[in-house]
Structure 1
Amino acid sequence: MTAPVDPGLQPERTELAWRRTALGVGVGSLVALRMLPDATGNPWWVLVGVAGVLIAVAIWVSGRRRLSGVRERMARDGLHARMPGAGPLAALVGLVLVTGVLGMALVALVSLAPA
Protein backbone atom coordinates (compact mmCIF):
# COMPACT_ATOMS: atom_id res chain seq x y z
CA MET A 1 0.00 0.00 0.00
CA THR A 2 1.33 3.45 -0.89
CA ALA A 3 1.33 6.41 1.46
CA PRO A 4 -1.04 9.17 0.37
CA VAL A 5 0.33 12.52 -0.74
CA ASP A 6 -0.44 15.50 1.48
CA PRO A 7 -2.96 17.63 -0.45
CA GLY A 8 -1.84 20.79 1.39
CA LEU A 9 1.24 22.89 0.89
CA GLN A 10 3.71 20.13 1.75
CA PRO A 11 4.94 19.71 -1.86
CA GLU A 12 5.62 23.44 -2.12
CA ARG A 13 7.46 23.48 1.24
CA THR A 14 9.54 20.53 0.09
CA GLU A 15 10.41 22.29 -3.17
CA LEU A 16 11.42 25.40 -1.20
CA ALA A 17 13.68 23.23 0.98
CA TRP A 18 15.36 21.83 -2.15
CA ARG A 19 15.75 25.41 -3.44
CA ARG A 20 17.39 26.52 -0.15
CA THR A 21 19.71 23.53 -0.32
CA ALA A 22 20.68 24.38 -3.90
CA LEU A 23 21.29 27.99 -2.87
CA GLY A 24 23.50 26.89 0.02
CA VAL A 25 25.53 24.55 -2.18
CA GLY A 26 25.80 27.24 -4.86
CA VAL A 27 27.02 29.94 -2.46
CA GLY A 28 29.49 27.55 -0.84
CA SER A 29 30.77 26.61 -4.28
CA LEU A 30 31.20 30.23 -5.30
CA VAL A 31 33.17 30.88 -2.10
CA ALA A 32 35.32 27.82 -2.88
CA LEU A 33 35.73 29.07 -6.44
CA ARG A 34 37.12 32.33 -5.11
CA MET A 35 39.17 31.10 -2.14
CA LEU A 36 40.57 27.64 -2.94
CA PRO A 37 43.01 28.68 -5.70
CA ASP A 38 44.46 31.40 -3.45
CA ALA A 39 44.62 29.15 -0.37
CA THR A 40 46.29 26.24 -2.15
CA GLY A 41 48.30 28.12 -4.77
CA ASN A 42 46.95 25.81 -7.47
CA PRO A 43 44.53 27.24 -10.07
CA TRP A 44 43.05 23.79 -10.77
CA TRP A 45 40.98 24.12 -7.58
CA VAL A 46 38.66 26.35 -9.60
CA LEU A 47 37.22 23.13 -10.98
CA VAL A 48 35.92 22.20 -7.52
CA GLY A 49 33.91 25.43 -7.37
CA VAL A 50 32.61 24.99 -10.91
CA ALA A 51 31.57 21.40 -10.15
CA GLY A 52 29.76 22.61 -7.04
CA VAL A 53 27.84 25.25 -9.01
CA LEU A 54 26.80 22.58 -11.53
CA ILE A 55 25.68 20.32 -8.67
CA ALA A 56 23.66 23.21 -7.20
CA VAL A 57 21.87 23.64 -10.54
CA ALA A 58 21.17 19.89 -10.62
CA ILE A 59 19.73 20.04 -7.08
CA TRP A 60 17.46 22.94 -8.05
CA VAL A 61 16.26 21.16 -11.20
CA SER A 62 15.66 17.97 -9.21
CA GLY A 63 13.53 19.86 -6.68
CA ARG A 64 11.45 21.45 -9.43
CA ARG A 65 11.04 18.10 -11.18
CA ARG A 66 9.93 16.41 -7.96
CA LEU A 67 7.31 19.12 -7.33
CA SER A 68 5.89 18.86 -10.85
CA GLY A 69 5.83 15.05 -10.55
CA VAL A 70 3.90 15.22 -7.28
CA ARG A 71 1.43 17.66 -8.81
CA GLU A 72 0.90 15.39 -11.81
CA ARG A 73 0.40 12.32 -9.62
CA MET A 74 -2.04 14.19 -7.38
CA ALA A 75 -4.03 15.37 -10.39
CA ARG A 76 -4.15 11.86 -11.80
CA ASP A 77 -4.52 9.71 -8.65
CA GLY A 78 -5.92 12.14 -6.08
CA LEU A 79 -5.03 11.62 -2.44
CA HIS A 80 -3.72 8.12 -3.08
CA ALA A 81 -0.86 9.29 -5.29
CA ARG A 82 2.48 7.63 -4.69
CA MET A 83 5.23 9.66 -3.00
CA PRO A 84 8.44 10.29 -4.96
CA GLY A 85 11.46 8.15 -4.17
CA ALA A 86 14.29 9.13 -1.86
CA GLY A 87 17.09 8.68 -4.40
CA PRO A 88 17.91 12.40 -4.75
CA LEU A 89 17.92 12.79 -0.97
CA ALA A 90 20.33 9.86 -0.58
CA ALA A 91 22.58 11.36 -3.27
CA LEU A 92 22.55 14.70 -1.46
CA VAL A 93 23.51 13.03 1.83
CA GLY A 94 26.39 11.32 0.04
CA LEU A 95 27.48 14.62 -1.50
CA VAL A 96 27.49 16.35 1.89
CA LEU A 97 29.47 13.48 3.44
CA VAL A 98 32.09 13.48 0.67
CA THR A 99 32.34 17.28 0.71
CA GLY A 100 32.86 17.31 4.48
CA VAL A 101 35.58 14.64 4.38
CA LEU A 102 37.37 16.37 1.47
CA GLY A 103 37.09 19.72 3.25
CA MET A 104 38.70 18.31 6.39
CA ALA A 105 41.46 16.74 4.29
CA LEU A 106 42.09 20.03 2.50
CA VAL A 107 42.31 21.95 5.78
CA ALA A 108 44.75 19.37 7.12
CA LEU A 109 46.90 19.52 3.95
CA VAL A 110 47.01 23.31 3.87
CA SER A 111 47.80 23.59 7.58
CA LEU A 112 50.55 20.96 7.42
CA ALA A 113 52.20 22.35 4.28
CA PRO A 114 55.57 23.97 4.86
CA ALA A 115 55.43 27.76 4.73
Structure 2
Amino acid sequence: MTSPADPGLQAERTSLAWRRTALSVAVGSLVGLRVLPGELGAYGYAVCLLGLGWSIDLAVVARRRHRDANLVLRRVGHRGPEGAVMARVALATAVTAVAALVGVLVIAGH
Protein backbone atom coordinates (compact mmCIF):
# COMPACT_ATOMS: atom_id res chain seq x y z
CA MET A 1 0.00 0.00 0.00
CA THR A 2 1.16 3.48 -0.71
CA SER A 3 0.69 6.33 1.72
CA PRO A 4 -1.41 9.34 0.70
CA ALA A 5 0.40 12.38 -0.67
CA ASP A 6 -0.46 14.47 2.39
CA PRO A 7 -1.71 12.28 5.24
CA GLY A 8 -2.63 15.33 7.34
CA LEU A 9 -5.51 16.20 5.02
CA GLN A 10 -7.37 12.99 5.81
CA ALA A 11 -7.34 13.79 9.53
CA GLU A 12 -8.49 17.33 8.77
CA ARG A 13 -11.42 16.14 6.64
CA THR A 14 -12.48 13.66 9.31
CA SER A 15 -12.29 16.36 11.98
CA LEU A 16 -14.40 18.72 9.90
CA ALA A 17 -17.01 16.00 9.32
CA TRP A 18 -17.28 15.37 13.07
CA ARG A 19 -17.61 19.11 13.71
CA ARG A 20 -20.39 19.38 11.11
CA THR A 21 -22.18 16.48 12.78
CA ALA A 22 -21.90 18.16 16.19
CA LEU A 23 -23.23 21.41 14.76
CA SER A 24 -26.13 19.61 13.05
CA VAL A 25 -27.12 17.86 16.27
CA ALA A 26 -26.93 21.16 18.18
CA VAL A 27 -29.08 22.99 15.61
CA GLY A 28 -31.59 20.13 15.54
CA SER A 29 -31.79 20.18 19.33
CA LEU A 30 -32.32 23.94 19.40
CA VAL A 31 -35.06 23.68 16.77
CA GLY A 32 -36.57 20.88 18.82
CA LEU A 33 -36.48 23.16 21.86
CA ARG A 34 -38.96 25.42 20.08
CA VAL A 35 -41.24 22.60 18.93
CA LEU A 36 -41.07 19.62 21.28
CA PRO A 37 -41.96 21.15 24.67
CA GLY A 38 -45.35 22.21 23.30
CA GLU A 39 -46.03 18.67 22.14
CA LEU A 40 -44.29 16.60 24.82
CA GLY A 41 -44.01 18.92 27.81
CA ALA A 42 -41.12 18.00 30.09
CA TYR A 43 -40.11 15.10 27.83
CA GLY A 44 -39.50 17.59 25.03
CA TYR A 45 -37.07 19.55 27.21
CA ALA A 46 -35.33 16.32 28.21
CA VAL A 47 -34.88 15.21 24.58
CA CYS A 48 -33.50 18.62 23.61
CA LEU A 49 -31.09 18.72 26.54
CA LEU A 50 -29.90 15.21 25.68
CA GLY A 51 -29.30 16.35 22.11
CA LEU A 52 -27.38 19.43 23.23
CA GLY A 53 -25.27 17.35 25.58
CA TRP A 54 -24.57 14.90 22.78
CA SER A 55 -23.54 17.72 20.44
CA ILE A 56 -21.06 18.99 23.04
CA ASP A 57 -19.67 15.48 23.40
CA LEU A 58 -19.36 15.19 19.62
CA ALA A 59 -17.49 18.50 19.44
CA VAL A 60 -15.07 17.38 22.16
CA VAL A 61 -14.60 14.03 20.44
CA ALA A 62 -13.96 15.78 17.11
CA ARG A 63 -11.19 17.84 18.65
CA ARG A 64 -9.70 14.83 20.43
CA ARG A 65 -9.86 12.66 17.30
CA HIS A 66 -8.09 15.33 15.26
CA ARG A 67 -5.33 15.59 17.85
CA ASP A 68 -4.99 11.81 18.11
CA ALA A 69 -5.00 11.36 14.33
CA ASN A 70 -2.17 13.83 14.01
CA LEU A 71 -0.25 11.95 16.69
CA VAL A 72 -0.84 8.65 14.88
CA LEU A 73 0.43 10.14 11.64
CA ARG A 74 3.60 11.23 13.40
CA ARG A 75 4.21 7.97 15.31
CA VAL A 76 4.28 4.67 13.48
CA GLY A 77 2.61 1.78 15.29
CA HIS A 78 0.55 3.89 17.72
CA ARG A 79 -3.08 2.84 18.12
CA GLY A 80 -5.71 5.51 18.74
CA PRO A 81 -8.75 5.31 21.05
CA GLU A 82 -11.18 4.36 18.27
CA GLY A 83 -13.03 1.78 20.37
CA ALA A 84 -13.76 4.17 23.23
CA VAL A 85 -14.98 6.88 20.86
CA MET A 86 -17.21 4.46 18.97
CA ALA A 87 -18.66 3.12 22.23
CA ARG A 88 -19.47 6.64 23.45
CA VAL A 89 -21.12 7.59 20.15
CA ALA A 90 -23.10 4.33 20.13
CA LEU A 91 -24.28 4.94 23.70
CA ALA A 92 -25.34 8.51 22.92
CA THR A 93 -27.18 7.30 19.81
CA ALA A 94 -28.97 4.60 21.79
CA VAL A 95 -30.03 7.07 24.50
CA THR A 96 -31.31 9.49 21.86
CA ALA A 97 -33.20 6.70 20.08
CA VAL A 98 -34.86 5.57 23.32
CA ALA A 99 -35.81 9.17 24.15
CA ALA A 100 -37.30 9.60 20.67
CA LEU A 101 -39.21 6.32 21.02
CA VAL A 102 -40.62 7.43 24.37
CA GLY A 103 -41.61 10.73 22.77
CA VAL A 104 -43.39 8.98 19.93
CA LEU A 105 -45.22 6.70 22.36
CA VAL A 106 -46.28 9.70 24.47
CA ILE A 107 -47.57 11.53 21.41
CA ALA A 108 -49.38 8.41 20.18
CA GLY A 109 -50.99 8.02 23.60
CA HIS A 110 -52.63 11.46 23.42
TM-score (norm 2): 0.75
Q: Could you tell me which runs of 5 or more consecutive residues in structure 2 were left unpaired when the two chains were aligned.
A: none
Does structure 1 residue 68 correspond to structure 2 residue 95? no
Q: Which amino acid aligns with 1:62?
A: V
- How many Å separate the matches in 1 of 2:53 and 2:91? 16
CA offsets per residue over residues 48-87 of structure 1, 9 Å max, x none? 3233213212211211111112213433x2x444334221
Change over 3 Å in CA distance of 1:107–1:98 after alignment to 2: same
Q: Could you tell me which runs of 5 or more consecutive residues in structure 1 were left unpaired when the two chains were aligned.
A: none
Change over 3 Å in CA distance of 1:93–1:66 after alignment to 2: same
Moved runs in structure 1, 4+ residues, more than 4 A?
A: none
Q: Which amino acid aligns with 2:56?
A: V
Change over 3 Å in CA distance of 1:25–1:104 after alignment to 2: same
The sequence identity of aligned pairs, in percent, is 34
Q: CA RMSD in A?
A: 2.4
What is the DSSP-based 3-state SS (H/G/I as helix, E as strand, rest coil) of the residue aligned with 1:104? Answer: helix
How many correspondences in the alignment?
A: 106
